[in-house]
């Protein structure tokens, strides 16, 4: 089932002069030197690596360096790069012509195979990218319901169509543009954003806009703000709410389709969406995507119905051949069981390495996807993902790259495991990541809570209605939770206050007013705070308040408080 290139020990690959020269050359003709933003390494720093070839579980750059690959072309390479069966199918298709602009047998073969894996889906339309699939699904939903509003979730990424870039994840948030310039303001108003894993937020939003919501669009497993699994009951509640309000439930399984299970995550959770968007794996490494649904819905699409959508290269014979060959390999007995076990074992070993070296790391895995986040608490939504230590991930990324392990160049991306990652590749990767963690041991933040690396499986029980109740029971200190909350609130309030800080000044802002406090307030106590309690004057409590200071038990100085963002005692009138 798997195929692997020769298993040699990863070596230092920090000599990449040709890659740097190639990037400098590319930057003179390509925007940013790349054709997709996340490839530019802006999130992790440094110069992008230019790939020359890929085989099995490895990629090789133009300098001749060889890496164990956990990017997998961002998901499509589930059977490994350049699998012989896929190459044979592609070569056969190429010999008969690259594109016809007319129906071909391969597109029908692939359509029948995909639909056989998706219960409740009768028709499918092939397009060329996940962006096209999600954009077309939204158009279909609006036409079918006669409504104009769409609900999506903060941190979910559904391509770069205008309506979908509102609080998007993946490369959009990596580059600081979760809502991109150039989007019509009125169009943006038609996209409503809810918190992922918070069914109560969706329930309230649907109630406020009763009769106006066309669809709820969701990644059933989020892979664009790290890897975040749905809490138990979340997707079931979405199905119930959509049915009750007459809105379509659209599963964006561009990433998870045929990656986490045969068909996708919907075959694991047992929930049937109205429309499913697919991509990545179904093209076998070539541009192909699709959207599918029941017959009465999909028959609204032209030429049968009035909803227009077309594409010159949609269903082209070469991409269909690659996808068909890939899915036939995935259909083999035991394929997903083996792939899932590899991912589970790999993430457990990563968590153990992080724990050994004193890093606070959270890991997730499902099927052929894994997530590794530098955080002291599990991730449930976009706010948790943004609160991770992305600077530390950047250092870890380069430490791994220099040791022959190719990771996604952003802490907001999932990692991908393929059938070509055998025991030798995993052992070599663990050896390299062990050294990478060790090299970062001295760079841990002094303010972090005691490191607690955690590896979670899909069976972890969570609250379907929200995140706060479950977070209260996590094995993380109360002060650590308050510090993380204050950090997020500080980022939200920062534009409203002025932060005057220099090497000669020890002034700090009050998180409540944004005003600069006297520097004498920073010299009251020792550099480490005593264990504190939430301020009794903060009416909203520690999780929802504009004042995030901790009142410290100090009888002689009761008016002093500890600023959890700046790690300094301050005078606070809250």
Q: Which residues contact 528 (CB under 8 A, 6 or more apart)?
A: none
C-alpha separations of 246 from 76, 118, 205, 230 in Å: 34, 22, 14, 23
Rounded CA gap, 394 and 471, in Å?
27
Element (H, E) at 24: helix 17-26
434 belongs to the catalytic site: no
299 belongs to the catalytic site: no
Region for residue 284 given its phi and psi (left: phi exceeds 0; alpha: psi -120 to 50; beta: otherwise)? left
Q: Which residues contact 370 (CB under 8 A, 6 or more apart)?
A: 70, 227, 343, 346, 347, 350, 363, 364, 414, 415, 416, 417
Q: Which residues contact 60 (CB under 8 A, 6 or more apart)?
A: 51, 52, 53, 54, 66, 67
Beta bridge partners of 53: 60
What tokens were used for 235?
Answer: 């997707």
Active-site residue, selected from the candidate residues 67, 69, 280, 412: 280
Strand locations in 275-337, DSSP E? 275-278, 289-293
Rounded CA gap, 230 and 252, in Å?
14
Region for residue 495 given its phi and psi (left: phi exceeds 0; alpha: psi -120 to 50; beta: otherwise)? alpha
What tokens were used for 421?
Answer: 């990652």
What distance, in Å, lies between the first and last C-alpha atoms of the chain? Answer: 63
Do 350 and 407 form a contact (C-beta atoms < 8 A)? no
280 belongs to the catalytic site: yes
What tokens were used for 174?
Answer: 């990596």
Active-site residue, selected from the candidate residues 157, 196, 265, 291: 157
Rounded CA gap, 274 and 251, in Å?
8
Positive/negative CA dihedral, 46, 47, 48, 54: negative
Positive/negative CA dihedral, 371, 374, 376, 382: negative
- CA angle, residues 338, 344, 348, in degrees to nearest 5: 145
Region for residue 192 given its phi and psi (left: phi exceeds 0; alpha: psi -120 to 50; beta: otherwise)? beta
> What count of residues does the chain have?
574
What tokens were used for 133?
Answer: 């699939």
Rounded CA gap, 66 and 167, in Å?
36
Q: Looking at residue 517, what DSSP letter applies?
A: E
53-88 exposure pattern, b = at least 16 Cβ within 10 A, e = fewer: ebbbbbbbbbbebbbbbbbbbbbbbbbbbbbeebee
Q: Residue 278: helix, strand or coil by DSSP?
A: strand
Active-site residue, selected from the candidate residues 61, 63, 201, 252: 252
Residue 302 sits at φ, ψ, to 5 deg, of -60, 145
Positions marked catalytic: 157, 252, 280
């Amino acid at each position: 089932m798997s195929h692997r290139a020769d298993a040699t020990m990863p070596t230092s690959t920090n000599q990449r002069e040709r890659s740097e020269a190639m990037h400098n050359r590319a930057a003179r003709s390509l925007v940013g030197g790349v054709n997709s933003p996340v490839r530019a390494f802006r999130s992790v720093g440094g110069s992008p690596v230019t790939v020359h070839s890929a085989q099995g579980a490895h990629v090789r750059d133009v300098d001749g360096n060889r890496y164990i690959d956990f990017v997998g072309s961002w998901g499509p390479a589930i059977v490994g790069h350049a699998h012989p069966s896929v190459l044979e199918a592609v070569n056969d298709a190429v010999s008969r012509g690259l594109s016809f602009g007319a129906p071909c047998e391969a597109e029908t073969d692939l359509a029948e195979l995909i639909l056989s894996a998706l219960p409740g889906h009768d028709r499918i339309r092939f397009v060329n990218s996940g962006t096209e699939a999600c954009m077309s699904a939204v158009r279909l939903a609006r036409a079918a319901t006669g409504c104009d509003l769409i609900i999506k979730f903060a941190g979910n990424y559904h391509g770069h169509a205008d309506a979908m870039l509102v609080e998007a994840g993946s490369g959009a948030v990596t580059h600081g543009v979760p809502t991109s310039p150039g989007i019509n303001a009125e169009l943006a108003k038609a996209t409503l954003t809810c918190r992922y894993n918070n069914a109560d937020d969706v329930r309230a939003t649907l109630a406020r806009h009763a009769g106006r919501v066309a669809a709820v669009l969701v990644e059933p497993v989020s892979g664009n703000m790290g890897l975040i699994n749905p809490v138990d009951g979340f997707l079931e509640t979405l199905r119930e709410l959509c049915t009750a309000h007459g809105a379509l439930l659209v599963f964006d399984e561009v990433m998870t389709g045929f990656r986490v299970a045969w068909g996708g995550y919907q075959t694991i959770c047992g929930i049937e969406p109205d429309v499913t968007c697919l991509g990545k794996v179904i093209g076998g490494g070539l541009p192909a995507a699709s959207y599918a649904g029941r017959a009465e819905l999909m028959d609204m699409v032209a030429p049968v119905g009035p909803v227009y959508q077309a594409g010159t290269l949609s269903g082209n014979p070469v991409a269909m051949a690659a996808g068909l060959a890939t899915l036939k390999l995935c259909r083999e007995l035991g394929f997903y069981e083996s792939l899932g076990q590899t991912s589970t074992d790999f993430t457990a070993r990563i968590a153990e390495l992080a724990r050994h070296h004193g890093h606070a790391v959270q890991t997730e895995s499902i099927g052929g996807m894994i997530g590794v986040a530098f955080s002291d608490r599990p991730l449930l939504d976009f706010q948790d993902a943004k609160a991770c230590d992305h600077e530390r991930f950047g250092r870890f990324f380069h430490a791994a790259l220099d040791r022959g392990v190719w990771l996604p160049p952003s802490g907001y991306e999932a990692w991908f495991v393929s059938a070509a990652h055998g025991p030798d590749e995993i052992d070599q990767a663990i050896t390299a990541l062990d050294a990478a963690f060790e090299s970062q041991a001295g760079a841990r933040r002094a303010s972090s809570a005691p490191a607690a690396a955690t590896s979670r499986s899909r069976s972890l029980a969570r609250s379907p209605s929200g995140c706060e109740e479950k977070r209260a029971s996590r094995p993380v200190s109360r002060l650590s939770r308050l510090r993380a909350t204050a950090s997020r609130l500080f980022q939200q309030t920062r534009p409203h206050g002025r932060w005057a800080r220099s090497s000669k000044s020890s002034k700090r802002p009050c998180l409540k007013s944004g005003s600069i406090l006297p520097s004498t307030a920073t010299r009251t106590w020792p550099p480490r705070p005593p264990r504190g309690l939430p301020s009794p004057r903060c009416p909203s409590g520690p999780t929802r308040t504009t004042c995030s200071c901790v009142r410290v038990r100090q009888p002689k100085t009761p008016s002093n408080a500890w600023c959890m963002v700046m790690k300094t005692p301050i005078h606070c009138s809250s």
